[in-house]
């Protein structure tokens, strides 16, 4: 595995891979890798155990543009030594670890990418500017790497929808793929921010997934009223945890549009604070 923090070096290596006829895959991350990140690498390597077909670029960059003034940019967990080892063991070809100076040499980017409508609410309404920062840095990564495919995790489902919309609207020639959420044994969605949880908060946090599963069972049993399902989730979280609910929503899966009756493919998404730690989770349901 090669490691570089420089855009020009990355481009040189990607160019060589293309000359060898390889398909370029990008896996963007903010580091502090866990099994969710590595599962994306493993999914590609299962199709290419001999390293002949795919060239996997993983980026590790904690992007300041997507953090609000009172958010956790400075304390976001970082461990590049550990991440490098895990990426190499998983089968990454090139690890891109740019500095803020390399990505934004003239300071905060004057050009921003704003994807409207699908960022209006859910996490977007609670984290102003977040998805503008995400779309801007991902568009930069797409232009730097020029990948054929790019993987994004389902845990950040709104992010996936935002990137899909950006790619469609701007005619970016990359196929955006959704990687299933990887969970701990008790159901908690793997996240770098889980490291913030105190022991009692960690004990309570798996209720989020259990409440989502219960909602899916309710829908499978015939319930179609969004408010009824949302209230069931709210009751479960309120009764069994000290978590502070930020939102519970059921939306169309393709464009996050609001609905009153459940039909077709929907995403059930929530955000809950345990102490100062904000956790998000979701499941996809089709009826």
Catalytic residues: 37
Structure tokens at 224: 């179609």
Name residue, tokens 């490098």: 84
Cβ proximity of 213 and 221 under 8 Å: no
Please spell the DSSP secondary structure of 159-207, one letter per residue.
HHHHHHHHHHHTT---EEEEEPPPB-TTSPBP-GGGGG--HHHHHHTTH
d(CA 134, CA 163): 9
Structure tokens at 91: 């089968």
b/e for 108-132, b at 16 or more Cβ within 10 A? Answer: ebeeebebeebbeebbbeebebbbb
Distances, alpha carbon 219 to alpha carbons 177, 206, 270, in Å: 26, 20, 17
Name residue, tokens 């996809």: 284
């Amino acid at each position: 595995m090669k490691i570089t923090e420089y855009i020009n070096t990355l481009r040189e290596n990607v160019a060589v891979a293309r000359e060898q006829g390889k398909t370029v895959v990008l896996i963007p991350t903010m580091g502090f890798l866990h099994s969710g990140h590595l599962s994306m690498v493993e999914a590609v390597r299962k199709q290419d155990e001999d390293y002949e077909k795919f060239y996997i670029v993983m980026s590790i960059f904690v992007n300041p543009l997507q953090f609000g003034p009172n958010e956790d940019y400075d304390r976001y967990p970082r461990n590049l030594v550990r991440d490098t080892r895990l990426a190499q063991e998983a089968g990454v070809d090139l690890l891109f670890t740019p500095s803020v100076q390399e990505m934004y040499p003239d300071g905060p980017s004057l050009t921003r990418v704003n994807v409207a409508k699908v960022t209006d609410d859910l996490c977007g309404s609670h984290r102003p500017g977040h998805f503008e920062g995400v779309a801007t840095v991902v568009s930069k990564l797409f232009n730097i790497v020029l990948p054929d495919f790019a993987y994004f995790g389902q845990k950040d489902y709104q992010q996936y929808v935002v990137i899909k919309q950006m790619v469609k609207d701007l005619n970016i020639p990359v196929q955006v793929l959704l990687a299933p959420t990887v969970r701990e044994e008790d159901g908690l969605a793997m996240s770098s921010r889980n490291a913030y949880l105190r022991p009692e908060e960690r004990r309570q946090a798996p209720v989020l997934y259990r409440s989502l599963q219960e909602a899916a069972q309710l829908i499978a049993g015939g319930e179609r009223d969004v408010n009824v399902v949302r209230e069931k989730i709210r009751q479960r979280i309120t009764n069994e945890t000290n978590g502070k609910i930020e939102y519970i929503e059921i939306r169309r899966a393709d464009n996050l549009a609001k609905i009153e009756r459940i039909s077709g493919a929907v995403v059930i998404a929530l955000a809950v604070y345990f102490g100062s730690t904000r956790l998000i989770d979701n499941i996809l349901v089709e009826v």
